[in-house]
Structure 1
Amino acid sequence: MRQPSPPVQHPVQPDLSDSIADALIEKGYACVPGFLSPPRVQALAAETLRLWDDGEFQFARIGSGPNRQRCPQVRSDRILWLDNDQLSAPQQIYLDALDTLRQHINRATMMGLVDWEGHLALYPPGTFYKRHIDVFANARERQLTTILYLNPNWRPGDGGELRLYLDGAEMEPYIDLEPRGGTLVTFLSSRFYHEVLPAHTERLSITGWYRVRSTRHF
């Protein structure tokens, strides 16, 4: 992919870390604008579009392990998994910020988060991801979902909002979160069903998961 870049220091502002941790404790999710500055969001967005133009993305699949399959009636976005040991400089800045946040969340919640995995996601116009939950039945390492939006010019009507269902498997109540550039959404992976509403313009994000040590059961 890319050659390793020297780590770039990017501490998360303490008030943002406090806001995210407090929201996770209080209601299980957080939506924080300005997690990354506009120039850093622009750099990630430009790099994502270059990788798209280079043909690096693949159709996303659903399921896990040998059961993974394309299911375009459920999910039609394209993704590119990140290798944490082969990150570009803009990607490394984001990962450093996430690691600082991880440590803060661990101190506040005792969740024992140990690492993060994730991918770039691109939704061409007309694509979507139907209602789902992020934890597999036989692998529950994923504890917190993270979504950083890379759409600096998003406007109402562009679509691609994240619909977060607030009462388990119930269809109501829900909230729709706008995919504005620099906003970080974080939520408990096993608690919240969610979906990506149809995008009407190109929608970019980095989606990932903070994980704990393996609790796989067969």
Structure 2
Amino acid sequence: MTSDTFTACLTRIVDDLAEQGWSLQPAFVPQALTLQLAEECRKRDAEGALTPAGVGRGGALQVREGVRGDHIQWLEPGQSAASDQYLQRLDELRLALNQGLYLGLEDFEGHFALYPPGAFYQKHVDRFRDDDRRTVSAVFYLNADWQAEQGGALRLYLNDGSTRDVLPQAGTLLLFLSADLPHEVLPASRERLSLTGWFRRRGEQPL
């Protein structure tokens, strides 16, 4: 992807979020980087680094497999060249969102996510009741040759009452406003890999 192509992609994302609250981009990073990230996710899983994801935050965090069944590991700078490249690209996106939409995004938090066959995540929104920092959700998919009959779509519940199913096809980036669009992950017949995260704004600080 050339710099001009990436700039055009960023412009489309800004326009989509402004107009409809979500954006779908089929080739957000070069294919080689997508393959490296998928390999890294599988390597982390083989090493036992991915652990069952919880619901809630802080002291209320609980693992509830009846709600969500993915296994995750949080991203940190310096873990690998591939994940650092991905984080750098997301930081360029963060700056574009701030410039185009005045969102005041300060950082990004995200993790690798692996859904075993049959796992799902019930309908929810991404912003916590007691923490309003998560502003834009970003899901990047790592699954080559995904077929519709294999399931595993992320189902967005749109503001007009309709739904949109997004297949977890490798290279696809889905973004949406965290507080506005409920969504769920449908079960799949094969392993499902992604990088999931949130652009966050500054939280309200107590006096």
Alignment TM-score, normalising by the size of structure 2: 0.95
Aligned to 1:15: 8
Q: Please say if 1:69 is aligned against 2:62.
A: yes
- Helix, strand or coil at the partner of 1:204: strand
Tell me the equivalent position of 2:130.
Answer: 138
Distance in 1, matches of 2:121 and 2:39, equals 23
> Which residue in 1 is equivalent to 2:80?
88
Runs of 4+ in 1 over 2 A off after TM superposition: none
SS in 2 for 1:114: strand
Cα offset, 1:216, TM superposition:
6.1
- 1:118 and 2:110 matched: yes
Which of 195, 202, 207 pairs up with 2:196? 207
Distance in 2, matches of 1:152 and 1:139, equals 35
CA distance in 2: counterparts of 1:167 and 1:110, whole angstroms: 22
The aligned residue for residue 101 of structure 1 is 93
Amino acid at match of 1:197: L
Backbone CA RMSD of aligned residues: 1.5
> Which whole-Å deviations, capped at 9, do the CAs of 1:125-182 have from their partners, x for residues lacking one?
01000100111111011000000001122122121100000128xxx41110111101
Aligned-pair distance for 1:90?
A: 0.4
Sequence identity (%): 40
Aligned equivalent of 1:59: 52
Kindly provide the CA deviation profile for residues 7-36 of structure 1, in whole angstroms up to 9, marking residues without a partner as x: xxx897111001100000000000100001
Judge conservation of contact 1:38–1:152 (CA < 8 Å) in 2: no
Matched AA of 1:134? D
Contact in 2 for aligned 1:41/1:152 (Cα 8 Å): no
Contact 1:160 1:198 in 2 (8 A): yes
Q: Partner residue of 1:181? A: 170
Q: Which runs of 5+ in 2 are unaligned?
A: none
